[in-house]
């Protein structure tokens, strides 16, 4: 295993502007190529943890490096560069409903100034991966919830991110569809990505035996597997 962890978090404390301490001194290391579930009751701090990892939320104290970027001292430019290396997937997929599936996946690539010539191929490959090649010219509202979430996975992976952060990506799906969506994330890990997935669904943990980090009231109470 690579001795330098992809994520090195030591005694990280996070406070919202309201003063609420959402994480109270979390220490953990995640290595490249791991698949990690993050579980815990509602309000435990799962979303807060994921937001910290792509620089969407600052740490109030402690030490946090992600892919070699020290998020407590990095310039905003370095944080933006880190964000480009992260693929983020949310429960409410956040697809643009007035845009086609192609555009939803291509727009973030355009923003990052990917060469146009390679873009179409990237979009096609990502859609093929999630089994939705035929949906390329569809609008998201003509797809099922599971299919929309698979488009969100395709969008995240098209940028070939080092780190995939998925915040309850199966929260709105039935169990069979949740299994299918999680399988794609596991497959991405097998291809070399590091995947961190927050979930409420304990059945999924049994279906995909992996490292499980349990948060409770803003602290890590268990880290196994």
Ligand X SMILES: Nc1ncnc2c1ncn2[C@@H]1O[C@H](COP(=O)(O)OP(=O)(O)OP(=O)(O)O)[C@@H](O)[C@H]1O
- Which one of 9-17, 41-49, 154-162, 215-223 is the stretch in contact with Mg ion (CB under 5 A)? 41-49
Instruction: Mark the segment that binds ligand X (CB under 6 A) among 37-45, 61-69, 114-122, 141-149.
Output: 37-45
DSSP code, position 57: S
Tell me how far, at minimum, the Cβ of 134 lies from ligand X, in Å: 33
By CB under 6 A, tell whether 16 contacts ligand X.
yes
d(CA 48, CA 180): 26
Q: Which of 47, 51, 65, 170 is close enough to bind Mg ion by CB under 5 A?
A: 47
Cα–Cα distance, 22 to 186 (Å, whole number): 28
Binder among 9, 26, 44, 109 for ligand X (CB under 6 A): 44
CB-nearer residue toward Mg ion: 42 or 112: 42
Q: How far apart are CA 155 and CA 122, in angstroms?
A: 10
Supply 193's token pair.
């990505």
> Which of 24, 25, 33, 43: binder of ligand X (CB under 6 A)?
43
Helices (H) and strands (E) in the chain, counts: 7, 10
Q: Both tokens of residue 133? A: 């090649």
By CB under 6 A, residue 9 contacts ligand X: no
Helices (H), the chain: 46-53, 76-84, 101-111, 116-129, 145-158, 175-190, 202-207
By beta-carbon proximity to ligand X, the closer residue of 48 and 104 is 48
Please pick, from the candidates 9, 12, 22, 106, the single residue that binds ligand X as defined by CB under 6 A.
22
Asked whether position 14 contacts Mg ion by CB under 5 A, the answer is no
Please say which residue, 22 or 74, places its beta carbon nearer to Mg ion. Answer: 22
- Nearer Cβ to ligand X, position 16 or 97? 16
Which residue, 72 or 200, has its beta carbon nearer to ligand X?
Answer: 200
Q: Which of 198, 174, 175, 172 is nearest to 185 (CA)?
A: 198
Going from the C-alpha of 79 to that of each of 94, 110, 178, the distances in angstroms are: 22, 19, 31
- Residues found near Mg ion in the complex (CB under 5 A): 46-47
């Amino acid at each position: 295993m690579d001795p330098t962890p992809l994520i090195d978090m030591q005694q990280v404390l996070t406070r919202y502007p309201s003063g609420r301490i959402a994480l109270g001194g979390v220490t953990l290391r995640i290595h490249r190529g791991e698949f990690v579930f993050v579980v815990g009751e509602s309000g435990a701090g799962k979303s807060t943890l994921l937001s910290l990892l792509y620089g969407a939320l600052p740490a109030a104290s402690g030490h946090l490096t992600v892919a070699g970027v020290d998020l407590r001292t990095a310039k905003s430019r370095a944080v933006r560069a880190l964000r480009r290396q992260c693929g983020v997937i949310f429960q409410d997929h956040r697809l643009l409903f007035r845009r086609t599936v192609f555009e939803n996946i291509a727009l973030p690539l355009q923003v990052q100034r990917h060469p146009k010539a390679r873009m179409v191929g990237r979009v096609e490959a990502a859609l093929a991966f999630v089994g939705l090649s035929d949906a390329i010219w569809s609008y998201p509202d003509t797809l099922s919830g599971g299919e929309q979430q698979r488009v969100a996975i395709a969008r995240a992976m098209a940028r070939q991110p080092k780190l995939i952060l998925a915040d309850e990506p199966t929260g709105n799906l039935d169990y069979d569809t949740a299994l299918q969506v999680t399988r794609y994330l596991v497959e991405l890990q097998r291809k070399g990505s590091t995947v961190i997935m927050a979930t409420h669904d304990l059945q999924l943990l049994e279906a995909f035996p992996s490292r499980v980090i349990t948060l409770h009231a803003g602290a890590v109470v268990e880290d196994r597997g």
